[in-house]
Structure 1
Amino acid sequence: MFQVKCHLFLSNVVDVSNTTNKACETRRFSLDCERETHLYSTLIYKIKTFFGSSIKPDHVIKTYWKDEHDDLVCFSTDEETENAFYMSLPPENDDDLSNCFIIFVTAFKPSDIVDFDFTIKCYLFPKDVEISTNNISTVIETRTFQIKSNRQNLYNQLIKSIRSAEFSRINKEANDGQTFKTYWQDKDNDLIRFSTDQETEYAFKFHKNILLETPSSIPPVFKLFISKI
């Protein structure tokens, strides 16, 4: 029988290194690892039961434990749960109420998941000019904005961000009938047109990989080239 201390965070991020980032609620309960055949699902059931209305039916739940290096390790299977329990406490301390297995739980709506988070520099070209890096002098407006988005309706999220970027020549109203030609710049400096969620995700993933490979403390921006149709 293990004692479990569970810290709940109502967000999709756990940052225990930040002392100001406190769990919204903490609960303690027991769990019998040896008798449970579906250990992880039983743990999730107990978490939902003990935290009650704090966790909503549509919440995504993720669980973490802290290893010997003080790193947060995500776990989501029976095997990972069992390993986490037994690596945290030696068997002889199972019934010692002063010892407990500490876990960190995030509960959040699927819409709160952020897959892409970076800066976009957007160049607006006149309608009658070919969109090209060679014609950059013809750009009529440039805006820089931050995008935080998930994979759902990704292209529409981008278009909404463009409309909200304070372009003087773009109507912010979503039903104004304006549509755009949108291009991104690949590693060969070629402009690639895109207009679907799948193409947008590919472009964003490409940029995300650049961020991971960039040694500079100032990451490159995602350059977006657009014109109204």
Structure 2
Amino acid sequence: MQIDGVILDIDGTLVLSNDAHAQSWVESFARHGYEVPYDRVRSLMGMGGDQLMPKLIPELSEESDPGKTIASERKRLVLDEYVSQIKAAGGARALVQKLLEAGLHVVIATSASPEELEVMLKIAEVDDLLHETTTSADAENSKPAPDIVEAAVKKAQLAPDRLVMLADTPYDIEAAGKAGVQVIAVRCGGFSDQELAGAIAIYDDPADLLNHYDRSPLGQSPNPDSKL
């Protein structure tokens, strides 16, 4: 398997933010009279809000109130109240440096908003390293729809089978699969190996992948002639 580029998820992959996102959803729903169990919300981390909200409360949508307000308040809770609890995943910066040093084309693909992404990249201490991004602003539908991954593939200008996505949820794996991209998964997002079964390899976190880099699917030299 020849890999020339990496599509990077951020939440749960480079930063340990899934718990904070889940709790912010629970609180925002509750403020508007919707009691949603934390465990139910937590199991859907990796989905964008446009997908998650109607799955939890079918009558709600981010396109109209009260769903629109709930989604907005959820973001503010993360950025204003929970951000101090969010930490970088082990080895996040070192792994990104390794990918870049190996000559791999690295593109971010996240369901987060541009504002959230900016904060998370700083927490992961990679904001000076990563500059090619695709966010919720670049896709009509968020993960597990393939839109964001497809946007990242297009931005990288590489064939899907020359890319691998580094991610942490079954929804990432589903989205990437629909876009023709295979996934290397990390457990630090809080999902089980069974839930991540569609990945071609699973590691504890970026540090674990880095420690096994040469034996991983990434341990191959890039082929610059594979660009479309």
User: TM-score, normalization: structure 2?
Assistant: 0.24
Larger Rg: 1
More strand by share: 1
**RCO higher in structure (CA 8 A, sep ≥6):** 2
User: TM-score, normalization: structure 1?
Assistant: 0.24
More helix by share: 2
